[in-house]
Amino acid sequence: MSSSGSGSGRIVRHTAGAIVIVLIWNLAVESILSILPKVGPHVAPFLPFANGSRFLNDTTGVASYHWNAYGSLVYFALFAAAILGFGIVVTERRDA
């Protein structure tokens, strides 16, 4: 979670705002998206923190993932690296 937290911190340039964004995304947005009746089963396997949790706990929940637990780790790592990379690009453009 530190890469996605660092990336969101670079994007919003406010520590408390970055913490709130990451926690709300993890605890509220992904939970709400995964329980929606029509979209939940289709969207749930692609939620990044759900994939990170699946790797750590090896639980599938209601979603049917397209990959194993290590695939979930790779998916989460790529998501975190993408957010961090985007944060670096935004910071370089803004501070240049």
Summarised one tens digit per residue, pLDDT across range 27-85 is 999 989 988 999 888 888 899 988 888 888 876 565 678 888 899 999 999 999 999 99
Under 8 Å between Cβ of 51 and 58: no
Structure tokens at 48: 């990044």
pLDDT reading at 86 higher than 90: yes
Q: Rounded distance, CA 66 to CA 29, Å?
A: 21
Residue with tokens 């709300």: 24
Structure tokens at 21: 């964004």
Residues 6+ apart with CB under 8 A from 16: none
pTM for the model stands at: 0.80
